[in-house]
Amino acid sequence: MPQPPRPRRPPRRLDRRPRRPPPNRGPARWPYLALALLVPLAFYAGRLTVPEPTEPETPERAEAPPQTECVEVTTSTAGLCPCPKPRPPRPPKKLAIDGKAPDPVVTPDFEREDPTQATAEYLKRASRRLAVCAPPHGARTRVHLEVTVRPDGTIDQIGITNVDPVPGPIATCVERELRALTPPGFDATEPQTFGLTVVL
């Protein structure tokens, strides 16, 4: 018996567009959302299951005896006051110094001999020669003199410094006798003036 002919397939269309691949949406996010919801639920459930801490029982403290106030009393008996004795003040600390400090050096004053001392003593001794100028009669006369001597021993000037004038013969005699003196020289660069007072 002859078989019936098979139906023919329609020819394929060549202008069919290729299928697009499904878009890549990335990894699924629902596991992270579920984890974010479970964490606070678990924390809250744990707080409900943990018992609340109770305060520990503190033992009863014995009442301390009342403190007595210490009153300072100025008396000569120290046993009346239970306060401790005050500590004596400590001496200040001294810095340690190595060795003993040296004694200060005392320098004696420089005493220089007066170079005109010999000249002054000579004029004092020689003033006795002026007795020849005394007046023969009448009151005694006091004469104040200033004698200027050069370093070589020469008499330079002779001055009478009396307030009241001295009689002329006495002044002339005194100057003549002083000019005749030869005092010793001295170590200096300028003339020196010596004061003399004689009573004639």
Q: What is the pLDDT along the chain (200 residues), one digit of tens a residue?
A: 556 666 666 666 555 565 666 555 555 566 777 777 777 777 777 777 656 656 656 656 656 656 656 555 555 554 555 667 778 878 777 665 556 667 777 777 667 778 889 999 999 999 888 888 888 887 888 999 999 999 999 999 999 998 888 888 889 999 999 999 999 999 888 999 999 899 88
Q: Can you give the pTM of this predicted structure?
A: 0.44
Exposure of 147 by Cβ count < 10 A (0-12 exposed, 13-18 middle, 19+ buried)?
A: buried
Distance (Å, whole) CA 196 – CA 149:
13
Where do the domains of the chain lie? 133-199
Distance CA 192, CA 147 (A): 8
133, 137, 107, 121: which is closest to 198 by C-alpha?
133
